[in-house]
Amino acid sequence: MVRRLLFATALLTAIWVPAAHAVEPSERLADPALEARARALSEELRCLVCQNQSLDESNADLAHDLRVLLRQRLLAGDSDQQVLDYLVARYGQFVLLDPPFEPATYLLWLGPPLLVGGAGIVLALRARRRRAGGAPPALTQDERARAAALLGEGV
**pLDDT: is 11 or 94 the higher one?**
94
C-alpha 92/C-alpha 87 separation (Å) is 7
* DSSP states along 101-132: -SGGGHHHHHHHHHHHHHHHHHHHHHHHHHHH
Q: How does residue 137 score in pLDDT terms, banded at 50, 70 and 90?
A: confident
Q: In this predicted model, what pLDDT tens digit does every residue of 37-92 receive, in sequence order?
A: 888 888 888 888 887 888 888 888 888 888 889 889 988 988 989 999 999 999 88
Rg of the chain over all Cα atoms, to the nearest angstrom: 30
Q: Which amino acid makes up residue 112?
A: P
The rounded distance, in Å, linking the Cα atoms of 133 and 145 is 26
Residue 18: pLDDT above 60?
no
Domain 2-99: CATH architecture, name and number where available: Orthogonal Bundle (1.10)
How would you write 31-47 as a 3-class SS string? CHHHHHHHHHHHHHEEC
Task: Report the percent of the chain where pLDDT is more than 70.
Answer: 82
pLDDT, position 100 = 84
Domain coordinates in residue numbering, the chain? 2-99, 104-151
